Amino acid sequence: MVVRESALDVEIRDNAAMTASPTTEQMVAGGLRSSLLGIVINLVLALVKCLTGLVGHSFALLADGIESFLDVISSTVVYLGLRLAIKPPDMDHPYGHGKADPIAAAAVGVAMIAAAVGIAVESISLIRTPHKLPHVYTLWVLLSVVPIKALLSRYVSGVSQKIESSALRGDAWHHLSDAIVSAFAFIGISAALWTRDPTADDWAALCAAPIILLGGWQQLRRPVAELLDTAPTPEIGEQVRHVAEAVPAVLGVEKCFVRKVGFRYYVDLHVVVRGDLTVREGHLIAHAVADQVRQQVAKVAEVLVHIEPEEELLVSHPGELMAEEAREAPPPSRKP
């Protein structure tokens, strides 16, 4: 065996593994169905609420209808984002199109913030302007809307957790915010009819605006963090380290970086091996590490492996190497 003094640099890139697996495609197909369902339901509810709000003199219900129209737009953006994000890599996009998912999520967050500002401005304007009392039948519309939107939000949220989609998570929050606006509208119309004060309806819409604004801000933060390649939860990195260190001939993992792109994870690893290995042996070890990580860690699309000689670990983390040698050293024999 030939001793090599220089560091070995082996990078394993497997674009075939980046293609979405059938399981991922099936899960994203469920996300597409949930987006289509949201578009249809929101369109029907938006028309009903806007018409009822206009005829029944309820701005809270009209604002609720506008929020539902925004839900139609956001669900459409999510649908298009999911369809683009699941596309396989090509020559122009070797890392795939996964960034389309957080971009769609960010668009939903911006739409929620814009809706909150618009509702607040219009509510303040109507509070200062005399208008008629809302009709009683507007309450029945709201009573049917709240459970529908709450159930839709829960359904979409469940799908988003399965595929870890930022866009679907935002869509679920948007549905929930619509249910919150409807609940506030119900309270406001009830108060207006009870007190005979039409502005109670407008105050209810104004009270719902900060909740939508907060939800939009929270929704905007997550996709922006993903677009900036913020590290995912530490558990994923720990799992990757554990799998890599279990590969034979790997003495340790010096560095481990994980980032999320769309529905998959991309891993950069620096693994430490004996310094006297040949280039071919280091290459095979790198392949073994990449294969094991992709097989044992869910949703990993690509693993980039950098081979480091053990001297590197001795310089940067001497205690770690000493501990590794202590674990591998046989127990001393005892003579009577």
User: 15 lies in a domain?
Assistant: no
Same domain flag for 309 and 285: yes
Whether 304 and 191 map to the same domain: the answer is: no
The whole-number pLDDT of residue 259 equals: 86
With both helix axes pointing from N to C terminus, report the angle between 100-127 and 166-195 in degrees, rounded to the nearest 10. Answer: 10
**What was the pLDDT predicted at 314?**
60
Residue 6 lies inside a defined structural domain of this protein: no
Tell whether the model's pLDDT for residue 192 goes beyond 70: yes
pLDDT at 136: 78
Residues 67 and 147 in one domain: yes
Q: Are residues 269 and 200 in the same domain?
A: no
Q: Which CATH number do you get for residue 247?
A: 3.30.70.1350
Q: Provide the pLDDT for residue 232.
A: 79
pTM over 0.75: no
The string of pLDDT tens digits covering residues 222-247 is 888 878 877 777 888 888 899 888 88
Least confident of 3-7, 22-26, 102-106: 3-7
Q: Is residue 238 part of a domain?
A: yes
Domain termination residue (choose one: 179, 201, 227): 227
The answer on 216 and 286 residing in a single domain is no
Same domain, 218 and 307: no
321 domain-assigned: yes
pLDDT-derived band at 132 (thresholds 50, 70, 90) equals: confident
| pLDDT band at residue 333 using 50, 70 and 90 as cut-offs | very low
Residues with Cβ within 8 Å of residue 180, at least 6 apart in sequence: 208, 211, 212
Residues 150 and 237 in one domain: no
Amino acid at 52: T
Q: What is the pLDDT of residues 20-58, one digit of tens each?
A: 444 566 667 777 888 888 889 888 888 888 888 788 777
Question: Which range of residues forms the domain containing residue 240?
Answer: 232-328
pLDDT score at 319: 52
Domain boundary among 177, 196, 227: 227
323 has a pLDDT exceeding 60: no
Give domain status of residue 8, yes or no.
no
The better pLDDT of the pair 73, 1 is held by 73
* Residue 23, Cβ density class (10 Å: 0-12 exposed, 13-18 middle, ≥19 buried): exposed
CATH no. for residue 187? 1.20.1510.10
Residue type for 21, please?
S
Does the residue 104 lie in any domain?
yes
Say whether both 249 and 179 belong to one domain. Answer: no
- Cα dist from 215 to 111, 171, 207, whole Å: 11, 11, 14
pLDDT at position 150 over 60: yes
Q: What percent of the chain has pLDDT over 70?
A: 83
Lowest mean pLDDT among 111-125, 192-206, 312-326: 312-326
How much is the pLDDT for 248?
Answer: 87
pLDDT for res 23: 58
Is 335 inside a domain boundary? no
* Domain boundary pick from 186, 211, 227: 227
pLDDT tens digits for range 52-91:
878 877 766 777 777 778 778 878 888 888 888 878 777 8
- Does 312 map to a domain? yes
Q: Is the pLDDT of residue 94 over 60?
A: yes
**Do 263 and 216 belong together in one domain?**
no
Same domain? For 213 and 139 the reply is yes
Instruction: Verify that 268 and 133 share a domain, yes or no.
Output: no
When pLDDT is averaged across residues 180-185 and rounded to a whole number, the result is 80
Domains held by the chain: number: 2
214 pLDDT higher than 80: yes
Residue 110 sits in the same domain as residue 212:
yes
User: What pLDDT score was predicted for residue 25?
Assistant: 66
Query: What value does the mean pLDDT of the chain take?
Result: 77
Residue among 244, 237, 240, 239 at smallest CA distance from 287: 244
Q: What pLDDT is stored for residue 26 in this prediction?
A: 65
